[in-house]
Amino acid sequence: MNARRGGLLVAGTTSDAGKSLVTAGICRWLARQGVRVAPYKAQNMSNNSMVCPDGSEIGRAQWVQAMAAGVVPEAAMNPVLLKPGSDRTSHIVLRGRPYGTLRAGQYAGGRQVLAEAAFEALADLRSRFDAVICEGAGSPAEINLRAGDYVNMGLARHADLPVVVVADVDRGGSLAAMYGTLALLEPADQRLLVGFVVNKFRGDVDVLRPGLDRIAELTGRPVLGVLPWLDGVWIDSEDALAVGGWAAGAHGDDPQCAGHGAHPAGRNGSRQTLSVAVVRFPRVSNATDVDALACEPGVTVTLTADPDVVAAADLVVLPGSRATVADLDWMRRRGLDHAVAARADGGRPVLGICGGYQMLAQRIVDPIESGQTVDGLGLLPTEVTFGAAKMLGRPLGSWRGHDVHAYEIHHGIATLHDDPARMTRADADGLRPRVGGSAHSTGSYEEFLDGFRAGSVWGTTWHGAFENDGFRRAWLTEVAETIGHGWRPSAAAPGFAAQRELMLDHLADAVAQHLDTAALLTLIESGVPDGLPLVRPSTG
């Protein structure tokens, strides 16, 4: 790598075109070449986040990209994180710390402080790393947002970054999207767009070649390669409802992530399939917690809002939520509260994580997010109180002799109504509000990580706990034994972190094999070439 600090911006024709994946792949590929590389995204809008070793909060995608680059994740890699709290407001995390609230009317303008923080973070990274691979957001052709943009072409213009645009060929219209993205940009932005990458291609690339040649002819920019559809490869999603990639069957039958539909030997086989239903909250947060469950052989995971699916599953998970009270109300309106309560009555496992754990409480006092005090589902002996301060941390603990490394991101604090060691079944029933006309008893209580277990109901604030292989497998074994299920972990299955490493290596292999890496290196080292033609129509 030249002495000049290199950089590249990976943009996309649409959201979910594969920007995060391509960025991670380039980071891993560069790291293999001995380049000290860092990922960067100026602004992320996501409720899937991670706590870095320094205690700062960034988007999960940038955390995985840092893993791909082989560097320690830090706040500068995602200086602005917007966490949607409603359809019209987002909570701002600036430089890894809570900063305030951004309302819909402020989105296109009034964000100068955020832009300055983003530019400073990029300059900082470029001063310390050989190359910074930046990820855009949405599409650079969202010209209605261009005036206040500091994530796509605004960032590229500020830092004089070459821009490569990724197109998702699987969803169709990719050729028009590539041309149209360039044509909609004003001349000064067009100058920075240097090429295209086609993503998620299935079939014979020669069939696509005439169209790519025509795009290169019309735009004066090369198509730098065609990445195939990659089974078994996922990047922790920015979209709170696009859990991991397994939810859409992206893992297929690839052994790198075998949980989604893998090894279903049947109820009479030596391994029985353990079914997990994850409640699909409208404002779900950190749903990546269940990725490790989905990658466990013999475990199938389904996102659902159907009470019948919740009733039938072997295990139900209430994941995190950015708006606990609102999502609890949504559960009740759909009848999901009755399905969960019936499971508890029948001794069938329920797990709540963070916001889902808070919903299991006797009462929720929330002057911060909703301004309400409401009854919880009453399945754990806790009361939750929301405070203004956000709790960020990387706790360590253990369960049944298994070490657990996790992270926490929450405003709600759960406290006991009473000492669980002294609480009788009758006392528990007396504490619990009625759900659907009947009181629910959970019997004895015990600590579970930083939360509690009451009968078949488990709750914890900790995210990422199930990425710990020993703990995950021991806990799933206990869940299976509780309901007389035959599932047991496979001793030969790789651990979750090992699967992620295999995935990132597989992704880097695809970059090396299918992209013009020599051209990418030249762009990263030397910047934008001169003489790129203007494409009409443009705003100039």
- Token pair 């475990």 in the structure block, residue: 299
Strand partners, 300: 275
- The angle subtended at Cα 499 by Cα 496 and Cα 501, nearest 5°, is 115
What are 472's two structure tokens?
């995950």
Rounded Cα distance between 299 and 261, Å, is 7
Whether the link from the prior residue into 537 is cis, omega within 30° of 0, is yes
DSSP letter assigned to residue 353? E
Rg of the chain (C-alpha set):
24
Give the residue ranges of DSSP H helices in 229-384.
Answer: 291-294, 307-312, 324-334, 336-345, 355-359
Rounded Cα distance between 4 and 99, Å, is 34
Q: Strands 284-285 and 320-321, how do they pair?
A: antiparallel
The half-sphere exposure of 59 on its side-chain side, counting CA atoms within 13 A, is: 29
Q: Answer whether 285's CB lies under 8 Å from 322's CB.
A: yes
* Terminal C-alpha separation, the chain: 36
Per the document, the length of the chain is 540
Return the number of other C-beta atoms located less than 10 Å from residue 470's C-beta. Answer: 16
Q: Treating both helix axes as pointing N-terminal to C-terminal, what angle do 60-69 and 496-514 enclose, rounded to 10 degrees?
A: 70
Q: Strands 299-304 and 320-321, how do they pair?
A: unpaired
Report the catalytic residues. 354, 463
